[in-house]
A and B are shown apart, each in its own frame.
Chain A
Amino acid sequence: MLLELKNIEKSFGENKVLSGVSFKAEGGKAFGLLGRNGAGKTTSIRILMNVFPANEGAVLIDGKPINYNKVSFGYLPEERGLYPKKIIIDQLIYFAELKGMKHKDAIKAIDYWLDRLDMTEYRNKRLDTLSKGNQQKIQLITALAHNPDIVILDEPFSGLDPVNAMLLKDVVKEQITQGKIVLFSSHQMSYIEEFCDSIAILNGGKVALCGNLHEIKRDYPRDRLVVRTENPAAISAAFGDNCTAIGNGALLVRLSSPNDKKAVMTQIIQDYDVDEVKVFEPSLNDIFVEYAGDNAKED
């Protein structure tokens, strides 16, 4: 399954929120939708989920306009919230039924997920008796119980302790393995890097950068080396201004041309006692700041 947003335009009154937003997300892979607050992520998600229509553009599945009766969505909104005063199982069944599940199937699926997320003991309790992290796990069930084709997770890891974060990671990996399209929106870049094959960075309602994360990184000029060594002083002295310490005993050596890469690497290995030499690839964080920061460049 291939999901495609094509040239989406959206304005609220005079305020243009999205202009020409396009990206593609593939089944069996996770897609990261990044951007600063107010960049247009939630609006894009709402248009994708048909909460309101776009002024222009189209949402396509396998090249054809999406049929909302056939494609199901699971959504974990950034603004978490269910009915605080209502019994957990009641509201989970309600949401599953709204998504088209039969009552019996809904109970079966919910009980599976309650067990999977270690939440069975809270089944018949009121939501507001649970901790924030546990409430979030309940909310995750509303996104997954009906076995959706497209799973949209907005900041899924915020508020989770390391153990629960690990549990969620396993669940997300499982969803990806099942061939679903998993759409991630997060400011925690490490998770995006861990899961997502492709990303789109939104800035001011436009796609500032889009593509395969690995390729994006590869496309950066390969003119810097990361050198890890016990004795940085000697290398620093040899490379002078072209060498900067980047912490944890690592140095960044700037080359005059990417063509020098092989020669310089060989030279460093031969002349110095080093633990590791590799070509520097920017982290997603660096890329994000570059494309969505205050001095962002236009793609």
Chain B
Amino acid sequence: MKQFGKILKFELKYFFRNKIFVGITIFLVLLIAIVMFFPRIMALTGREQSSEGVANLPIMLVKADDPSQADMVQEIFAASFTDYNVQIASEEIDTIKEEISSQKAECAFVMTGPTSYTYYVNNLSLYDANTEIANTVLQQIYQMNAMINSGMTAEQAGEVMKIQITSEVESLGKDQTENFFYTYIMIFALYMVILLYGQMVATNVATEKSSRAMELLITSANPTSMMFGKVIASCIAGLIQIAAVFGSAVVFYQINESFWGDNFIIESIFNIPPEILIYMLIFFVLGFLIYAFMFGAVGSTASRLEDINTSVMPITILFIAGFFIVVTSMSSGDVDGTFIKIFSYVPFFSPMAMFTRIAMSTVPVYEIAISIAILVASTVGIGALSAKIYRVGVLLYGTPPKMSAIIKAIRKA
């Protein structure tokens, strides 16, 4: 136990002195800072832009054969397309096309009737919603005119058109529109941290072996203490890194809260229910440990650093497969499907699968308890097995042994 403490301290020191670890953490915090300060920066630069007036906005041309329609359309379009400088065009269509091609104007609506038009644009963006806005506006104008023609006053017609539907949605379980984003962020963080740190544990063990420091280590410390010391140190380092990134995100958000307005994605991310955070911590720690033990064991069987990448492949594939299944279920919205339900009890997948179900759906407490119990038991089992593999693996040099050879060696050791 005393040795475990020494090893933990030494390994932790390695993380905090590791320039890459410190560099990545600082980089992520800076990135978060830029993202969280973005609306504030935009607000500052935005004010300058608005003072420059309509003249700098992209030009939208409107052409109608009937001048009265042209005036009305321009007026309503100007109100609807506030991001554009809406101008009436009297030129021929070819000239309009040319102006768009030469980027003098960005787009043009050429009315071909009261309810039909041709929209000209240079490159049609995937997110171009101008035609949808125009359709709604033209439909409203047509409906207005129809009502006025059938004897209603303009005010009455205006009242009818202004009518708004009010509704309320009350989700009795979880609201996926709210929790999708934070679940996704957390699953992704779990994915990144486990792969990154798992690889680090494997490399760390293989480095000790290839530098032959292992020769001295195995005669100085108990292999189980060594394995657990390394894995738990990297788990703590991972948690500290996550805490630094998420903590700084919360702090920066609070500084800039007023600038974010009613952005519901951001609001949902920063209003994670505390019990979800606790589950996140439980599944993170257990998921991290179970994979880090496996990575450590595999690292101990490699004699050279070059062997690591191929040796860890099966674990990485197992993990990525789990990640994809979970993310696919999340995207489809069906987080209680058979697949993910089964996976939420399988130790290698449950940290992601069960957490997703808890965050995005309503899972009975006993199911969570069973899943956690299986995961805890498996983590302890894998930890003990890894320590045994480690004990045997660190003394094996040459080509990485096959799994069957290692199992044989463990039995006979």
Contact = CB atoms under 8 A, between A and B. Distances in A.
Contacts of A100: 2
A97 B212 contact: no
A81 B413 CA distance: 25
A175 B72 CA distance: 105
B216 A82 contact: yes
B219 A51 contact: yes
B36 to A, nearest CB: 35
B104 interface: no
Contact of A79 (B6, B215, B221): B215
B331 interface: no
Given A12-B412, A51-B395, A94-B10, A73 B211 contact: no
A142 B217 CA distance: 11
Given A12-B409, A12-B412, A90-B13, A95 B216 contact: yes
B213 interface: yes
B3 interface: yes
Given A13-B409, A90-B13, A81 B220 contact: no
B220 A98 contact: yes
Interface string A103-135: 000000000000000000000000000000000
A81 B215 contact: yes
Contact of A83 (B211, B220, B409): B211
Contact of A94 (B6, B212, B214, B412): B6
A90 B12 CA distance: 13
B402 to A, nearest CB: 13
Interface residues of A, number: 26
Interface residues of B, number: 25
B13 to A, nearest CB: 7
A124 to B, nearest CB: 13
A288 interface: no
Contacts of B93: none
A94 to B, nearest CB: 5
Interface in B347-367: none
Contact of B219 (A11, A75, A80): A75
B412 A51 contact: no
B10 A81 contact: no
Interface string B332-355: 000000000000000000000000
B327 interface: no
A164 to B, nearest CB: 20
B7 interface: yes
A98 B3 contact: yes
A97 B6 contact: yes
A95 B221 CA distance: 9
A97 B211 CA distance: 20
B162 interface: no
B413 A52 contact: yes
Interface string B1-43: 0110011001001100000000000000000000000000000
Interface in B201-225: 208, 211-221
A99 B391 CA distance: 18
A75 B412 contact: no
B408 interface: yes
A90 B9 CA distance: 11
Interface string A9-52: 00111000000000000000000000000000000001001011
A80 B208 CA distance: 12
A80 B13 contact: no
A95 B265 CA distance: 51
Contacts of B395: 46, 51-52
A86 B204 CA distance: 13
Given A13-B412, A98-B3, A98-B6, A79 B218 contact: no
Interface string A71-98: 0010101011111101000100011011
Given A12-B409, A51-B219, A51-B395, A83 B213 contact: yes
A95 B220 contact: yes
B300 to A, nearest CB: 14
B150 to A, nearest CB: 86
B212 A81 contact: yes
A142 B216 contact: yes
A13 B410 CA distance: 10
Given A12-B409, A98-B6, A98-B7, 7 more contacts: A46-B219, A52-B413, A84-B211, A95-B220, A97-B6, A98-B3, A100-B2
Identify the 7 closest CB pairs spanning chains A and B, nearest first: A81-B212, A77-B215, A98-B220, A79-B212, A81-B211, A97-B6, A49-B219
